[in-house]
Structures are given as structure tokens and as C-alpha cells.
Chain A
């Protein structure tokens, strides 16, 4: 039997994430990009909980969890301390969408406004997953969650996704990117850029959640790809507030993405909701227009 060459992972196996977890993969890839000279600040959420059940930890870098909303503020204090001590470690914040889009808004706004040097990585699984799938500001239109359930008088979440990249661009963040676990090399490149660009940088990573969205764990990457291919998730980069790079796609109709997940099942069963599907298609079309997503296959 051949000897196994063990590669050193700074986010190690043995964590308690669900099989097929998008967030776990995000943590692995981010740490591969970040390296050993990193201090991780983690908000309360799935990642913190599945990676550090006392007395075990999956993190082979210095790691701190304080509370749900305050990772940016804690990171601000660490940054100040490192500056005074003349230390060169980089600070990476890892926070879910709940911690980022909702409860952490005040702290994020303050930290970005003050211009601290850190990379804020939001693993976006589009709901409060750790507490059992409740709706957050990142939950997409018509997604069913326990606090925005689909029912006889409801199609699920009524509001579109909050545009966090735009909000942070307005704060003057020098580098902002969206990424997906479907494109790991691209994700790592963006994380590296965020870490190495001085100032507060933000990378929002699409991290599909099999448990919360209702699909089999082996489909995580495939569904992440479909999100991009339908235009419902856009991979882009912003430098000093201006979009500089966008991943173009040959767009598929949103239905191909929606029908893979239980959280959108109510749009198809018991009855097809064409009006709602059309509204979601409109969101994708708007994204396409805004970011120039569509690859032109034919020259007119």
C-alpha cells in the first residue's frame, strides 16, 4: 500500500460540519490562500460551532471567537495591537451572512469606515443556518426558510438580497469581490488579493448549504455552478468601488437552479408559479444587464 502524503491544512479535518458543507470548503480554501501568518476572527455561526467544540479545534492558526456581531470590532482591536507590537500577521475575518448582513452591520460599518487592514470573508449560505435555517438579509427572493416559510399565503422570503458589496464599496473599501466554491482557484486568488491589499477588503463567497437549501450533499459544487450560470450569483471584482472584472456566462434559465433545491420547491409544487419564477428571472436579467454577464455567442 503506497504511503499517504499528508498535505498540511490550516483548517483541518475532524470538524463537525454536515457532509458536503459549502462553508467548510470555504474555510479550507481561504486558509490555503491565507497561510500560517494569519489570525482568524470568527463570528458565531455554523463555522465557529462546527470547527471548535471545546477541547478540539480545527484551526492551526491563531483563532478567536468573541460574539455574533462584533468580529469586525474585535479585528479592529487586534489590528491596532499588532501595529503597536510591530507584528506582521494578517487578519482574516470569517463570518456568515447573518453575522455580516444583519447583526454585524454596525460593527462592519465602523471598521470599514475607520479603514482597518483586514480581509473580511463572508461565507454566504443565505440564511441563519446554525440556528436552523432562518431568513437573513442575504436570503434570496422567494426562498423558503423557517421564518419566511412558503405556505398557502406565502411564497417565502419577500425581499431581494441586500447588496453588501455596494454598501462596503460606499465605505471606500479598496478591494471587494464575490466568489464561489464552484471556482476554487478564483476564490483563492481573490482571498489572496483581499489579504494583500492594504485596508478593509471584502470577499463574499457563495457557499451552498445542503441541509438548509434542501439538496443532497454531493451536489454542493454543481448547485454553486448553476447559481452563477443562471445569473443569480455574479462573480465579480471591485477595485476602489468600480467593477473591474466579471465572470461571464452562457446563461441558463433560473428554473434550472431553482428546481434543484427544496427551498424553492413551492414554486413548482403543488402548482407551477410562473409569475414568481418570472420575477426571479427578472432578478437574473437585471444582474446580467448590470454586470454585463452574457457572453455574446453570435456576432450580429
Chain B
């Protein structure tokens, strides 16, 4: 059903349709609208869930850990400082293999304090064990939540998922969304039925400590689950496409890749701007394409290596930094994926703290890349340094 709605509200509605039994909430810009909308649903009988207004983000995710372990589908949302505050629990939840889904309205991290968008928050926790999905627009932000629960709860995976979408840029903008109906979601997403849970009828212990004789294998199992996730995502994404017309089986999505000489690799809302810029560059005769990464964890190394095998050069955009590296986190992993190839891969760190990225910036980056200039911050205000 088509509706025009704010990103956060669309996400809240998607979550509502997933029928979580327990929602924990702590306010933080720019995700607050999500949890407010959920509170409203609960207060008006539209969502039959226990809603816990916790006293800090660490408790928000801890409550999800308890609820999930006890057998409930559960949800929370956070960003930036909140995500960092709950970092200990983030690693803990993945280690305990609890299929929690959490929305991250990507926001820069302090210091200096910033409420504006970049991806440093979720990227900084890329090795915690959570799957990471990145939305290009609010339709994806909405749909990726259904996919997230389905993949997280599958018996082969049982890992938590971050559904990331750019704070303010997506969370606070109105877009037309094709929202699924309850019957459709119920068909796609079955009731949460974990193999193991806290239950007096069948007592088990969760979250023990492991001596050196046992620990390594637990981490190996997590790594294996991430690897298996690619196929599970493909299957669940294809099923979504068959049922609802929007296919999410691909971890990366190409735009005008076929004959592209320069390919931009990017994640999130910037892809929209990139596509517009590409259209203009194509009209002017430049063969540019985009490879959008929609799933960052597990990292689609093979898919990227394959998609970029015939191009002349690659420009990776990162709205995050990996200090001391050539570019940001995505650039590092793209280069790793293309190891052995002679194709130059240049990284560009841009848009941090919400600095606007315009079509002309994309065009300029393509020019820089064509001239072999890259692996740097882009868009610096020289007068400030």
C-alpha cells in the first residue's frame, strides 16, 4: 500500500508489522521518531508489545538480550553515542547468537559532538558479529527490516542484524513507500520459534565463560554463520521479490556497470546522488557506473571482485574513517576483495559529520580518480586547517 511517510515512521511501521513482543526504547537523535512512533502504536493498541523505556542504551540492548533469550522477537533502535555506549552488549549479543534486530540511524560520533549523518557508528562495530544492511532510500530501509528478522532468526544463522540508514537524510525525509500489509508480513515472516530459550521446562545455561580450550571454536562458528548468511540473504531476498515484487537477493547492486570504465563503490543514501551524477556524466560521454553495497556484513568480497573485474578504475566513497588507512573501511575491504588485480582502487573519505555531498562532488571525485589522485579526505575546507 503506497503512502508518503517520514523515514522513521516507515521503519516503525515495518517493525510493528513484524510483531515484536518486546521493544526497548531510549531517545537519541535522529532515531527518536522511531521509538516515539512505536510507543504511540502500543498506547493505541496497534502493537501488542511490552514497551520498556530504559534508562540508557546499554540497558536498551540488554533488555533485548533478555527478551530474545526468553523467546521473544525483540527490537530497539539507536545511533552514534548510544551505539557506542552499548558496545559491550553489542558484542555480547552476537556472541550469544541472539537474533535481535536493531535500527541504526547513522550519525557521526563525538568528539566533537555531531548529530549529523555519517557511518562511523555502525562501521566501528563491523567486527562485533552483527550482520549489517545499509539502505539507499526509505523503501529499502523499510523492506530491510523484514529481511533482517527473517535472516536473523533462520536456524542456520541466529545472528543479530543492524539495519542502517542515514540519519536525517533518510530518517527525517518523506518519501513514497510501498508498505506491506500485515497478512503479507505474516506470510513472509513466521512466528519466532527459537531452538533454545530460557524455559523452566527445559533448563539451559546461556552466556557462560569459556576457557582457552573452548573459546576459539565459538568465534569460528560465528564466522561460519556470517559466511552462510550470504546464501540465506539471497534466498530470503529472492522470496521477498517473488512475493512482493522487490528483490533483495543481491548483496551488491550495480548501476550502469556493464560498460563502465570508472566505477564508484558506495553505501547508503549517497548512492542516490551518485546515480544522478552518473546520469549527467554519461550524457556527457563518460562511462561511469556505481556498485552499491547493500550488505556490508558479511562483506561481499566475491561479488565485488567479479563486478569490478573488467573496469579501468575504482573510486570508493567512505562516510567513515579508518585512521591511517588509504580511505575508509569500505576502501580497505574492497581492496582486499580485489587483491591480485592490477585495477587501481582509490579511497575517498567524505561527508563526515553531515557535510553535504553534491553531484558535482561525485563528478570531481571521478575526475580525481581518472587522474590517479585519491586515498585522501575529499571536500576539506582549506581555510580551517
Contacts and interface: CB of A to CB of B under 8 A. Distances in A.
B90 to A, nearest CB: 11
A36 B200 CA distance: 7
A89 B210 CA distance: 28
Interface in B50-100: 50, 52-56, 58-60, 62-72, 74, 88-89, 92, 96
Given A64-B205, A73-B66, A81 B59 contact: no
A84 B205 contact: no
Interface residues of B, number: 44
Nearest to A69: B58
A57 interface: yes
Interface residues of A, number: 45
A114 interface: yes
Interface stretch (A103-111, A143-151, A243-251, A285-293): A103-111
Interface in B280-332: none
A113 B52 CA distance: 12
B55 A113 contact: yes
A82 interface: yes
A63 B205 contact: yes
A49 B207 CA distance: 11
Interface in A56-91: 57, 59-67, 69-70, 72-85, 89
B214 interface: yes
A14 interface: no
Contacts of B65: 66, 70, 74, 77
Contacts of B21: 80-81, 84-85
A245 B363 CA distance: 78
Interface in A81-127: 81-85, 89, 106-107, 109-111, 113-114
B100 to A, nearest CB: 10
Nearest to B218: A54
Interface string B21-37: 11010000000000000
A53 B116 CA distance: 45
B53 to A, nearest CB: 7
Interface string B234-264: 0000000000000000000000000000000
Contacts of A78: 66-67, 69-70, 198
A207 to B, nearest CB: 20
Interface in A19-39: 36-39
B72 A107 contact: no
A65 B208 contact: yes
B15 to A, nearest CB: 15
Contacts of A62: 198-200, 202-206
Contacts of B44: none
B112 to A, nearest CB: 25
B62 A73 contact: yes
Contact of A64 (B63, B74, B88, B207): B207
A114 B211 contact: no
A48 interface: yes
Contact of B50 (A41, A63, A80, A113): A80
B72 A85 contact: yes
Contacts of A49: 209
A52 interface: yes
A54 B56 CA distance: 31
Of B48, B70, B206, the most chain A CB neighbours within 10 A belong to B70
B150 to A, nearest CB: 20
Contacts of A48: 208-209
Contact of B63 (A38, A73, A85): A73
B49 interface: yes
A119 to B, nearest CB: 15
Given A64-B69, A70-B58, A70-B89, A77 B200 contact: no
Contact of A39 (B48, B54, B96, B200): B200
Contacts of A36: 200
B66 A64 contact: yes
Contact of A106 (B53, B56, B88, B203): B56
B222 to A, nearest CB: 15
B209 A84 contact: no
B206 A85 contact: no
A61 B58 contact: no
Contact of A73 (B54, B68, B198, B208): B54
Interface in B171-199: 198-199
Given A69-B58, A114-B52, A54 B211 contact: yes
A77 B96 CA distance: 15
A39 B59 CA distance: 19
A55 interface: yes
Contacts of B55: 106-107, 109-110, 113
B89 A77 contact: no
Nearest to A42: B207
Nearest to B69: A64
Contacts of A55: 214
B63 A52 contact: no
A61 B200 contact: yes
A81 B49 contact: no
Contacts of B67: 77-78, 80-81
A139 B77 CA distance: 38
Contact of B72 (A60, A70, A81): A81
B91 to A, nearest CB: 9
Given A39-B70, A41-B66, A114-B53, A57 B58 contact: no
A230 B71 CA distance: 47
**Those 3 A-B pairs whose CB atoms lie nearest each other, nearest first:** A77-B66, A110-B55, A77-B63
19 contacts: A37-B200, A52-B209, A54-B211, A57-B208, A64-B198, A65-B207, A67-B62, A70-B58, A73-B54, A73-B58, A73-B60, A76-B52, A77-B66, A78-B69, A81-B22, A83-B50, A89-B200, A107-B58, A109-B55
Given A53-B209, A74-B69, A84-B49, 9 more contacts: A54-B211, A62-B202, A74-B62, A76-B24, A78-B70, A84-B48, A106-B58, A107-B62, A109-B55
Interface of A: 36-39, 41, 48-49, 52-55, 57, 59-67, 69-70, 72-85, 89, 106-107, 109-111, 113-114
